[in-house]
Chains A and B, each alone.
Chain A
Amino acid sequence: MFEPPLQRVIDELARLPGIGLKTAQRLAFHLLHVEEADAVRLGESIIELRRLVSLCGRCFNVTAEQECTICRDLRRDPAIVCVVERAQDIAVIERTGEFDGRYHVLGGALSPIEGIRPDQLRVRELVARIDDEGIKEVVAATNPTVEGDATALYLARLLKPLGVTVTRLASGLPVGGDLDYADEITLGRALAGRREL
Chain B
Amino acid sequence: MWLTWLELDGWRNYTTLSWQPDPGVNVLVGSNGAGKTSILEAIGYLSAIRSFRGTGDEGLVGVGTDRAVIRGGFAKAAGESRVEVEIPRRGRRRVLVNGKRPPRLATVAAQFPVVAFLPDDLELVKGSGSIRRGFLDDLGSRLSPGYGATVGEYEAVLRQRNALLRQDGPAVDLVALQVWDERLVAMASTLWAERVELIDRLAPVLGAAHDKVAGGTATLAVGLDPAWGDRRDVVDAVSFDTGDAAERLAGALIERRRRELEQRTTTVGPHRDEVRLALAGRPLRTEASQGEQRSVAVGLRLASYRMLAEHHGHAPILLLDDVFSELDVLRTAAVMELLPQGQVLVTTTRHDEQHVVGRSWEVVAATVS
Interface residue ranges, A against B (CB under 8 Å): 20, 110-113, 115, 117-118, 146-147, 149-150, 153-154, 157-158, 174-177, 181
Contact = CB atoms under 8 A, between A and B. Distances in A.
B104 A157 contact: no
Contact of B104 (A115, A117, A158, A176): A176
Interface of B is mostly: helix
Interface residues of B, number: 23
B179 A110 contact: yes
A38 B168 CA distance: 51
A189 B156 CA distance: 27
Contact of A113 (B159, B173, B178): B159
A154 B175 contact: yes
A185 B278 CA distance: 52
A113 B149 contact: no
B156 A146 contact: yes
B160 A176 contact: no
The 7 closest A-B pairs by CB, nearest first: A112-B163, A112-B164, A146-B156, A113-B163, A153-B179, A154-B179, A157-B175
B104 A149 contact: no
A157 B180 CA distance: 12
A153 B185 CA distance: 13
A187 to B, nearest CB: 15
Contacts of A113: 159-160, 163
Contacts of B182: 153
20 contacts: A112-B163, A112-B167, A113-B160, A115-B167, A117-B173, A117-B176, A118-B176, A146-B153, A146-B156, A150-B157, A150-B183, A153-B179, A153-B183, A154-B179, A157-B179, A174-B104, A176-B104, A176-B153, A177-B104, A181-B103
Interface of B: 91, 103-104, 149, 152-153, 156-157, 159-161, 163-164, 167-168, 173, 175-176, 178-180, 182-183
Contacts of A150: 157, 160, 179-180, 183
Nearest to B167: A112
Given A146-B156, A153-B183, A176-B153, 6 more contacts: A112-B163, A112-B164, A113-B159, A118-B173, A118-B176, A153-B179
Contacts of B183: 146, 149-150, 153
A111 B162 CA distance: 11
Contacts of A20: 91
B176 A175 contact: no
Contacts, number: 56
A146 B175 contact: no
Nearest to A152: B179
B103 A174 contact: yes
A117 B159 CA distance: 15
A33 to B, nearest CB: 27
Contacts of A111: 160
A111 B91 CA distance: 18
A110 B178 CA distance: 13
B173 A147 contact: no
A174 B168 CA distance: 32
Given A146-B156, A176-B104, A158 B167 contact: no
Contacts of B103: 174, 177, 181
Contacts of B157: 146, 150
A171 to B, nearest CB: 13
A118 B174 CA distance: 11
Nearest to A119: B173
- Among B91, B149, B179, max chain A CB count under 10 A is at B179
A190 to B, nearest CB: 16
A175 B107 CA distance: 12
B149 A158 contact: no
Nearest to A174: B103
A17 to B, nearest CB: 11
A175 B149 contact: yes
A112 B160 contact: yes
B145 to A, nearest CB: 11
A115 B161 CA distance: 12
B279 to A, nearest CB: 39
Nearest to B166: A112
Contacts of A117: 173, 176
B176 A154 contact: yes
A174 B160 CA distance: 21
